[in-house]
Structure 1
Amino acid sequence: MSKLEIHQIPVLNDNYLYLIKDPDSDAVAIVDPAVAEPVQEKLDELGWRLTHILNTHHHFDHTGANLELKEKTGCIIVGSKADADRIPGIDIQLEDGDIFEFGTQKARIFEVSGHTLGHIAYWFEGSDALFCGDTLFALGCGRLFEGTPAQMWHSLSKFLTLPDRTKVYCAHEYTEANARFALSVEPQNAALQQRFEDILALRAKGQPTVPSTLGEEKNTNPFLRPDSPDLQETLGMGGADLIDIFAETRARKDSF
């Protein structure tokens, strides 16, 4: 089976949309369309016809173009069953553990509440692709607008079970700022130090730092590393409960 063809579309100040196609069918989707015009421009450039919208959560910078694109293309809108009342135009409602068939591709659905309640992520195992919205960022995680630290840690822990080669297609270019915070809580991490240098080089050229890989995140993202002795030492929480360590890390990032 062929892998997804994925095109990253930068919009607004720091959002990323992902236009994806199953090469073995006519299935074409946009992930979290904030605005319609750049999506339509890319579709026209590629000669593709939109068949689906895949939403991770209800925030307007992820669903703002749902209805406009649906009216123009007749596409099917896919989102969270638990968040269905807040997903404009939703047609297919998914929940944790579901398998969503996209052409010949299959995505496993993870319910990953924390940033919002009912947030979901799409893992296309055959394409090593994770579309995680605002749950996991490169070197960061989403603010807890609706969920608790325990919910968010439970959600992020689901991603820790996935292969290191999985590419993390998150929805924002926050990486440089996230790296500066990460270094403040785990300054001894040599892999993180090197990654920060690489990030600065990319941003100096105006290039994206996304996607990263889950392997990189496991080694350098403090929100996936509450078990790190160095992180625990910095926080003064040696041997503490992992949820408490995660909560303290998130609280420090909120005021960083």
Structure 2
Amino acid sequence: AMKNGEQYTLGGLTVTALHTPCHTRGHVCFLVTDAARPDAAPVLFAGDTLFVGGCGRFFEGNAQEMYGNLGLEGVLATLPPETQVFCGHEYTASNLRFALSVDGANPNLQAKAAWVDGMRAEGRSTIPTTIGGERLWNPFMRADQPELKASVGLGESADPIEVMAAVRAAKDRF
């Protein structure tokens, strides 16, 4: 198993392991960069940590760990916004239906949901996404936003980790 920050090269690509515990204790994501093309967007293989509009269940972890992955200063949230994200499952349509239930006034989310509906109607994939896009519409990356706090019944002063836990609990019941 690779450790956090460990790298290997594959051809001209550098692959970096990012430890993202929560779905499982040993979960890692892989960030791929190309030194020969420094202007090319990095690529993240996110497994079951980050999905389009959602995140993996907290099977072996908790909200604090997932916030450490997806929150404002999180391992994945601080990657360049143009980072292309390939997740482990195509749960986009159902994730966005849930996201609209907790963040329905979000115009970025509304636009993404409409785009996804069109793509799925054509039988097309909605993956990849980008880190920058997910910051705009993924409720698990917006736990610091006042409107999300209110929609899960928490006050303005609620800690983002509490919000993460409440959003996950709501998703689990959805």
Structure 1 residue 169, shift from structure 2 partner: 0.3
Counterpart for residue 33 of structure 2? 125
Distance of 1:117 and 1:131 partners within structure 2: 17
Counterpart for residue 147 of structure 1? 61
* Equivalent of 2:159 in 204, 227, 241: 241
Distance of 1:148 and 1:226 partners within structure 2: 14
How many residues are matched? 164
Structure 1 residue 147, shift from structure 2 partner: 1.1
Counterpart for residue 95 of structure 1? 3
Residues 141-195 of structure 1 show CA distances to partners (whole Å, capped at 9, x for unaligned) of 0011111111121122111111111111001110000001001111110010011
Counterpart for residue 37 of structure 2? none
Counterpart for residue 88 of structure 2? 171
Residues 92-128 of structure 1 show CA distances to partners (whole Å, capped at 9, x for unaligned) of x311111222222102211001001100011113352
Distance of 1:167 and 1:181 partners within structure 2: 23
Larger Rg: 1
* 1:1-256 correspondence to structure 2 within 5 Å: 93-126=1-34, 127-156=41-70, 157-237=74-154, 238-256=156-174
Counterpart for residue 22 of structure 1? none
The one-letter amino acid of 1:96's match is N
Structure 1 residue 216, shift from structure 2 partner: 0.9
> After TM superposition, what 4+ stretches of structure 1 lie above 6 angstroms from structure 2?
none
Deviates more, 1:234-243 or 1:129-138: 234-243
Structure 2 portions without partners, runs of 5+ = 35-40
Distance of 2:146 and 2:15 partners within structure 1: 35
Q: Is the 8 A contact 2:22 2:58 kept in 1?
A: yes
Structure 1 portions without partners, runs of 5+ = 1-92
Q: Secondary structure of 1:132's partner?
A: strand
Q: Is the 8 A contact 2:20 2:69 kept in 1?
A: yes
Counterpart for residue 24 of structure 1? none
Q: Secondary structure of 2:75's partner?
A: helix
Percent identity for Structure 1 against Structure 2: 41
Q: Secondary structure of 1:163's partner?
A: coil
Q: Secondary structure of 1:125's partner?
A: strand
